[in-house]
Amino acid sequence: MHFESSSDSPGLEAQSIGWRKASTFPGYCSRHDSELVGPIERMAFDGQHEHSVLHAFRNVCNEIYRKQALIESLRFQKGILDRGRDLDRQIDIQYSCNANIKAHSKSLAETESLRAYIERGIVDGNYDAFESACFMFEGDISVVSSSVFQCEFDFEGNKLVDMWDLSIDAELLSHSIVNTENGGAIVFVWQKGGTHAKRVVESFRNIPDDEKGDVFVQYCFVNCENTYFSASWWESLNPKQRAQITSYARALYYEGGAFTANKKRLVGWNFT
Tell me the per-residue pLDDT of 184-239, one tens digit each, with 9 for 90 and over.
999 999 999 999 999 999 999 999 999 999 999 999 999 898 999 999 999 999 99
Rg (CA), the chain: 19
Element at 143 (helix H, strand E): strand 143-150
Cα–Cα distances in angstroms (integers) from residue 180 to residues 40, 135, 168, in the given order: 11, 11, 37
Tens digits of residue pLDDT in 28-58 = 555 555 556 666 667 778 999 999 999 999 9
Cα–Cα distances in angstroms (integers) from residue 213 to residues 12, 68, 77, 170, in the given order: 23, 31, 38, 26
- pLDDT above 60 (res 23): no
- pLDDT above 90 (res 133): yes
Contacts of 143 (CB under 8 A, 6+ apart): 177, 217, 220, 227, 228, 229, 230, 233, 266, 267
- pLDDT above 90 (res 108): no
- pLDDT above 70 (res 264): yes
